[in-house]
Structure 1
Amino acid sequence: MTIDSHQHFWKYDAKTYPWIDGTKEILKKDFLPDNLKPVLKKNDIDGCIAVQASHSIHETEFLLYLAENYDFIKGVVGWLDLRSETIEDDLKNLSKNPHLKGIRHIVQAEAKDFMLCPDFQFGISKLHQFGLTYDILIDHTQLEEAIQMVEQFPEQKFVLDHIAKPEISKGIDEKWRTNIENLAKNPNVYCKISGMVTETKNNDWKHANFNPFIETVVSAFGYDRIMYGSDWPVSLLACSYKEQFTILENYSSNFSAENRAKLMGLNAVKFYNL
């Protein structure tokens, strides 16, 4: 099974998605399952994981509704306020829906040490009992903080989104490489090779720009803890779906059939319990 482990759906409105600013005009419209379904089919992808893009319980409920009505949406990574005093009840209620696979918070927009706050960590501590994963959305400057967080929860399944958003156009930063290697020492942490095309200067890139970053991630996490994600439709800011998919297709062309299958879907199936 081939799985796109990271994409988004939304009915666009500026209040719900303030991060879609004037530099992202092409995203200021609805992106829904009927838009993605033929794209996945054209690229021989069997299904996807729909990931939250707003701190909104209403968006999460909308994504779960979509998953109930489109069988190619294999799971949802939603949002709940992990700092809420009612987080246990909130998780209990929302996790009754079998399509909910994990939770994500847009930490890249938060203040320093947000992941180390006791109320946030209390919320993280409750995910495991409900069988939920946690997607880590940060940029490369927050990796050390993420390492400190995940070390507190060895039983919790984490996945790093977008390889922590390094500045691709500047080439490998040794601090990023070291932090990726240190994060990967935690066996409960996976990594999505996703979101790279929009981390290039002016969205201008060549395949060779990504190879050292992919190589670092594969070396650190191994073949059993990496997964492909498109970040569609955000990726459309830089290229077509096929163009970003080809980056990993080409890179993994010398993988064994087994390891390529892990990257392209089996690891996502295992991680999200699809």
Structure 2
Amino acid sequence: MRIDAHQHFWIFNPVRDSWIDDSMLVIRKDFLPKDLKPILKANNIDGCIAVQADQSEKETNFLLECALNNPFIKGVVGWVDLCNENVEERLKHFTQNKLFKGVRHIVQAETEDFVLRNDFLNGISKLSKYNLVYDILVFPNQLENVIKMVAKFPEQEFVLDHIAKPKISEGLIANTNWKTNIKRLASYKNVSCKVSGMITETQDFKWEEKDFYEFLNVVVEAFGTDRLLFGSDWPVCLLAGEYQDVLQIIEQYFSAFSKEDVSKIMGDNAVRIYKLNN
């Protein structure tokens, strides 16, 4: 099964979605399952995982409703307030829905040491009890503290989003710290990585396929093919390219890999890590 392990839906709200500014007109509108379904079909993708873009339980409920009404949405990575004392009660509530597979917090908008806050760590400590994945959304400068956090939870399944957003256009030499910390993070076998969100980490959204290869080399060497997952980051990717552009980068890069390895990256790993068959 071919799975897009990372995409979003929203009904555009200019106040809530203020991060979508005037420079992002192409995504300042609604993006719903009916918009994605034909794109997945055209690209031979069997299903997807819908990931939160807003930090509210309303968002989590919205995504779960989308998944309930659209069988191609195989799972949801939603939002729960991990810093709240009632976190376990809310996790118990949402895991009554089998489509609820994981939790994400937009840590890239937080301070460097946010992931080491006691209240946040308490929230993370509750996830494995409910077989939930935690999606890590950070910038490279936050990786060192992420490594410290991950070290505290050897039983927790983590997935790094968007290869931690290195500055692609500056090349690998300018991203030396990113490379070092990716290798350190990958040494924890309970951490996987989505090869996603790369085209929007380019200067003025200008890129060529080869620009990504040295970064993909790093994550392949670090995580291996058992812990990499394809994700489109649709519709955010539309800022810098079409869905098929994102897919082609990954398919072209991995074209020399074995059929088994390609199957892992293009879906099998997502099914296993997010327990999409459960």
The interval holding the TM-score normalised by the smaller chain is: over 0.9
Residue 201 of structure 2 is matched in structure 1 by 199
Q: Which amino acid is the alignment partner of residue 120 of structure 1?
A: F
* Deviation for aligned residue 1:236: 0.2
The residue type equivalent to 2:49 in the other structure is I
CA contact (8 A) 2:6 2:196 kept: yes
Alignment match, 2:74: 74
Q: Which residue of 2 aligns with 1:38?
A: 38
1:208 to 191, 207, 210: 210
* C-alpha separation in 2, matches of 1:55 and 1:193: 23
* Counterpart pick for 1:251 among 244, 250, 253: 253
Q: Counterpart in 1 of 2:183?
A: 181
**C-alpha deviations, 1:54-82, integer Å up to 9, x for none?**
00110110100010010000000000110
1:91-106 alignment, distance < 5 Å = 91-106=91-106
TM-score (ref. length: structure 1)? 0.99
Matched with 1:217 is 219
Aligned residue number for residue 87 of structure 2: 87
In structure 1, C-alpha distance between the alignment counterparts of 2:139 and 2:266, rounded to whole Å: 24
Please name the residue that 1:23 is paired with: 23
Q: Deviations 1:198-250 (Å, cap 9, x if unpaired)? A: 00000000011000000100010011000000000000000010111100010
Residue deviations 1:81-106 (CA, integer Å, cap 9, x gap): 10011111111111111000000000
Determine helix, strand or coil for the equivalent of 1:49. Answer: strand
Tell me how far 1:41 sits from its aligned partner: 0.3
Normalised to the residue count of structure 2, the TM-score between the two structures is: 0.98
1:170 maps to 170
Deviation digits for residues 2-24 of structure 1 (CA, Å, limit 9, x no counterpart): 00000000001022222111221
Output the aligned Cα RMSD: 0.6
User: What stretches of structure 2 of length at least 5 have no aligned partner?
Assistant: none
Moved over 2 A (4+): none
In 1, are the aligned partners of 2:3 and 2:266 still within 8 Å (CA)? Answer: yes
Q: Distance in 2 between matches of 1:240 and 1:112?
A: 32
Give 1:128 shift.
0.4
Give me the whole-angstrom Cα distance separating, in 1, the residues matched to 2:87 and 2:21. Answer: 31
Residue equivalent to 2:116? 116
**Helix, strand or coil at the partner of 1:182:** helix
Residues 229 and 269 in structure 2, CA contact (< 8 A), matched pair in contact too? yes
Q: Compute the displacement of 1:112 (Å).
A: 2.2
Query: What's the counterpart of residue 234 of structure 2?
Result: 232
Distance, in Å, in 1 between the alignment partners of 2:18 and 2:57 is 16
State the percentage of identical aligned residues.
55
Matched position secondary structure for 1:205: coil
